Structure 1
């Protein structure tokens, strides 16, 4: 699976669990860490964990190995590393504090079409 398809799969998993303010950033010309960052937020710890679980589940169903999952117990900022795609699931209160969109402001945003089947 190509990295953009994987990023879209993760974005749909976020949307399925009612993740809010979902943003995909194209990191290919900005960072060596990943091709895409996916950022979203949940309104409480339980929702943040549910989003992370759904991303992990969807990845595994598509035979994508989750390389690392960090921050799950605290559920303030969960990082799901899918290799070429890194998903950042924030608790609503933490997202503005870390402001990854501003930190990686050189990265172009990718338009998401979550309501369409692909």
Structure 2
């Protein structure tokens, strides 16, 4: 008789563990959709949602958007906070870059919102840095992109 070898555990980089996300990513998708909608409503450009579950155990989704001025970035940031905190009852864990206003980061745990001015977004190019992530079409989140 031959001894049976134990099954190899799945590579966590290939198939993310559902134990990390026992409830899946549906809540994260709702937050991302709300943030993207606020950004679009405030005339942000190039609004993108990126699924980074396969690359990060900490984050599910990035929302990335470009604003044209410091004032616009502040308005988008504040209105996203209102929509997520007051509208959805979510807690923001951190905010960085608000004073400088070139790259504002809003940390909502599983969802991180990146608001850039045009030059800074081009320089850091998060979409290339996180190229293994999967872009989620806004329509898949129920968000209507501007025409």
- The answer to whether TM tops 0.5 is yes
Select the structure of larger CA radius of gyration: 2
RMSD after superposition: 1.3
Give the corresponding residue for 1:90: 116
Unaligned runs of 5+ in 1: none
Alignment length (residue pairs): 116
Give the corresponding residue for 2:12: none
User: Larger relative contact order (C-alpha < 8 A, sep ≥ 6)?
Assistant: 1
Give the corresponding residue for 1:12: 37
Instruction: Please report the TM-score for the alignment, with normalisation by the length of structure 1.
Output: 0.93
Structure 1 runs of 4+ aligned residues shifted over 4 Å read none
Instruction: Please report the TM-score for the alignment, with normalisation by the length of structure 2.
Output: 0.76
Unaligned runs of 5+ in 2: 1-25
**CA positional deviation for 1:115:** 2.1
Structure 1 contact 44–92 (Cα < 8 Å) conserved: no
* CA deviations over 1:26-61 (Å, ceiling 9, x no partner): 011111231000100001111111111111110111
